[in-house]
Structure 1
Amino acid sequence: MRSGSTEMEPRAASFTSENSVVVISDDEAESTLGNSVIFVECSEESALEEKTPEEVVDDEIAVTFSRKANVLPHARYDCTAHPFVRTEYDVSAPLERNKDVCGQCFCYLCDKLASLCPYWTTPSICHCNAHNKSKYWKAARDTSLAGVLTMFNLDLTEIDANLRQGGNYLLKFMQTLSVQYNSYLAGEQVAREDLYPCMCSCHGQNRKGVGCHKCSYHHTETTTYSYSPLHDMVSEFLTQAEQENPETAAVMFLGVAKELMLQKEPPQVSQSRDPTAMLKTSVVALMERITSDLQTILVLHNFPNNLFRKFIDFFRSLAFPPHCYSFTNRLNVLPWDDLLLTSVLMGQNVTGEQRTKKGKKEILFEALPVVQARVRRMEEEEKYRQLVRYLKAVRCNNSLPFRELKDKVPFYMCKYGAFDCAASCLLSWKSVSCCIACRITPVQFAAYLKMLRTGSVPSGNELQCQGQWIVHQGSLVKNGTLIKIAIQILYANKLLYRNPKCWSILIQTWCSKTILGENGELETFYCAEPAAVFQKNILHLSLGVLDKLKQHIHVKLPNQFFHMSCEAELILAVQAMVQMLLDHDGQQVLCSVLEIVFAFGSNLWALKLLLEGISVNEPLLFAFATAFNRELCDQKMWAQRLWIEQGPLYVSQLVSVFITHQNAVVRSAAFLILNIILENFNQYSWTSYVANYLRNRVLTVSLKLTPEEQHELKNKIAVFQKKA
């Protein structure tokens, strides 16, 4: 195109040419083509025919080139080549010229070329009359495009690929289910005698025949009905749905629920031992699975609000038969933006109760699958503070699994750094004799002690000691509090109290540093042996402290415990273990003595206190020493690895603790240790150190060794020095 003037103002062009050239105004203020450029459309017969001669439209505009526009695909009612007559509802026959089409006319209902529509002029259907200004035809189009999804009252704009996929799966399944259901209603003809034997006396006579007239009824055929094939078919479909996208799965679950609610049991159905063979019991079991999966999906997946509400409304609209009345309100799942739920999660409501405008009390009550799904989602999103608030406020009808979820509240508190609150929560009695500590396992006990002692937490959402641990900055437990809580947990939980593993964990924790090592494990810590007077004083004070802890009485540690807190708390733990061993249940701990001894690490002065404490009971001391010797022989490899790790000073002090004891059986443990070292002498490079330690600090000062023991010890010292 060209212009005779470069400063022409934009305006609508007129035309009078023979070929009816349409000149379109260039009203676009920011046109990149300039003010003098306009678009034209001509109505030539051939789309490829070009007009090359210059044609003057007016004094300022000349058309130098034009071509017929391409006709784009369009609905029949928008066709410019053939007129269309609109009516609200007419399917009897094509109206006037509505059946005439051009090459680009599409069927409004089928979304196909009109020439390919099988119902274009079919009487009583007549798709050629369809248009977008009729409610009838618009509803028909929605049904045609949405298929079975129309049952959910979805707009076409809400239907995405996932929903459509669910609809396709559901439609195929409904067709297959219908065939199987009809087969179930028809039943199967079987002989009564195949179901249960005839008990008539005539069968005992030695004659042939079907029996007398009285028992002829038992030798006829009857109709049986088994719902098991339907149950298996639905179960398989539900399994498939559980593996699909949440939106696809929701459509499949809801569609199956509707089909199950429409099924009826034939009359005179006999009882069966197989619950899946009975329609009512089978449908109830299937609905339990369906509603549980739906509750989980609605919580875990972020459905649009409209779709979320339509799914719930659809479920409520189902006609529940009497055997399924309990499922009527099963899908009343609160959305995440619900006012009551939001107030609980934000900490504005700690009770889960609120008054409505009508004065009624609204309570945050949710089904177990919903609670489990909310816990799972908040765990994945690491919203531990909100999770604690939710578990404290929500109520559930399934007490045991729900209690297991609430028992993790102290763990979640540790996850966001509230270690002091977690410690208190463990021993928070809801009743006279019930607290979370009463139900924790030995593994959980070890994990809690590790978390509260070091201020660190597992990286995952499981309460365990293994795996990666991370240090968490938060409110730590005060000095002197953790040891009281640990001992109270043992007193409250009889399973832990009788478990030797838990006592070795207690000792090991207080013989370890308060900071985790690089590998995330506890590192041993050496407490210097305090003065004998201090030990005696703390042991005396420990008796009163432990007595109050047994009675669940709040007790404040005496001031002497804070002078040398690490040593004093370790002495308190040892005294608690002594009392346990002296108790009649203490004999059970003797099945793992070696682990308890090694739990002390380098703090062998505390081990000496333990042996002195149980010395008042001669049989117990004998059993303790005997068990140690037996386990040491059975687990030599473990002992040797530990001795190589700890070094000569540890081995020397360990031998010294046993060999200086007044009981001969206890002293025998020391000689057993020396014998094991001699058996694997080449693995140790420090035997001379052990020999010198025993000669200077044991042999010359010990008055408790018998002459035979002194002679044996001298021989072993000589061998150690000679080998070195």
Structure 2
Amino acid sequence: MPHNIPIIILSDEDDDGDFLRTHNDSSVLIVEIERNEADVSKHIEELDEDLAITYSQTATVLPHARYDCTLAFCRAEQDVSGPLQDNAKHCDQCFCYICDKLASMCELWTIPGICHCNAHKHSVYWKALRDKSLMGFLHELNFTFDSLDMDSDLRRAETSLQIFAGSLAMKYATFLLGFETPNHSASCRCTCHRNINSNTQTQTIGCKGCYKHHFKMLEYDYTVVSQHIKMFLNEAKKENPKACVVMLLGAIKLFVNHTTPGNIHAANTVSETMSMLLWRFMTKVWTLLVGFDFSGSFIKQLESFYQKLPLPSNCTLPKSLSVLPWDDPLLSAVMKGQNITGERQGKGQRHQVLCEPLVVIQARVCKLQQQNKYRELARYLKVVKSINNPTGAVCHMLSLLPGATCLASYLTPQQFRAYLRILTSGHAPDVAQELDAGNGHMIIPDPLLSTKWTPIEGSNSFKMMEVLKFALRVLDCNNIVFADSETWVYLLSVVSSSFTTPDGVPVGAFYAEPDITYQTVTRDAASAILEELTTTSRIHISKIFESGYPDQARLLLATQALVLRIFHSQFKPILSVIMSFRVKWSETEHTLVAYFLCMYFWENSVVLDLNTYPTNSLLATWNE
């Protein structure tokens, strides 16, 4: 481009004055650019001053994992034999992917068999090892939180649980040592003690017989341990809800396996204390799950942890947290006034009833009151069912929960027999609240452990066929109850009884033996009913089934279910119970039960393997 550019200036000004006269009165003027070398030089100097580099510094390298460093890194899924290629090298900002600290501070950086220098995030092995390291004690307790979820609340819970685990272990170890009962000794017949007074008789003096007669009687007091656990409960309640619920469930994992090496009385005392502590801890957990909006993934992780807890066999707590979320379809419909019955029958689903534990109801009431949602509270209280409603309780236990399960599948044999007692006797445990001295709140103990039962007001006992249908559905979905021999004996006793006393004792009734034709037809019908229950999880019993001999038909249906139990697996555990009642049944009202059992094994189609069923010879002589 040329440097001399001509410029044409057009002017239509009337008062150009001296300008136009100076330029020969021209209205058009051609101007050539005149370059001032001094100005150009000065301008360049100013630009040079603006762009002058006064200081230089290399880029700051931020902390990074070894596999993200500019130094070469060799990846492998799981190689701990030694450093791979140049993996042992690191810069000043490289940190250990496992220890989460500078590589120079990692003591296991190049140790053969561990080799943290080979760790990277693309390996399943190394990522699992990092999660274990970051979660710390929570990982040892089998919590399944992701390492990215480890916030300040979970860190505080992890620290508290680790401290509590150490102190609890010391208290429990002291408890296991026991203490000697004072002034307890046995009379010694040995020669060296025959002429010694009673004061010195308690001492061990050289004779071999002394060891047998002079021994220590140890007693065990669980009070100190239980007080320490209660102190931790009170400390957990002071934390944030997220940290509190993790601390409570983690503490249960730490003390749930406590036992005693002492006598039966001490064992029973520990068992009762354990049940009380479990109920107190879970009451607080349920309250937190209702009162605070935890994320769905967090609740799912808590549910997974709770289901893995090794709860004792006599524990009556549900095996699921079983708290409906606020966005549950039935619960939300009730709150909005779209459902005024509290019941719902979906397509292809079981009948669902809004029934919740009293602790959960109380927590929901407090939550709705705090939110000033009194209209929703009124709708909820009108339809929710809890106690004194056996029909609602049965429907609720058999209603499917998320995950295609129902509460009945989590019942223990003791709980199942307690519910049979409730349904047949018309009595329920008397729930007495206890005062928590720590915070002044009322605590509701496990009702099924109550020794006092009272009549259910405004409710009649179930018909025996309804009780049997409930029992068969529970046996179909609950493998533990299905395999328990005492449950079958109690069920047969209930079905063959005229009524059940308030103490839960079935009073037997004498039933006449039906004709053989009726027995054959009814047995085939019972087999069809049980087959439908097994395949569809539904049970339908027509009125024709109970015509003629209704009591005998129910008993035959229960006996047929017992036969399926026998053929399902080895029946040695249950046969011992049945054989113990053999003489009693032959002399009392239970003769019909024994006869129905014999009827199935008399047929030629029933062939039992002698190796699998060693008691087949006993069945052959059943009717002798």
- TM-score with structure 1 length normalisation? 0.42
Instruction: Looking at secondary structure, tell me which structure has more helix per residue.
Output: 1
Larger Rg: 1
- TM-score with structure 2 length normalisation? 0.48
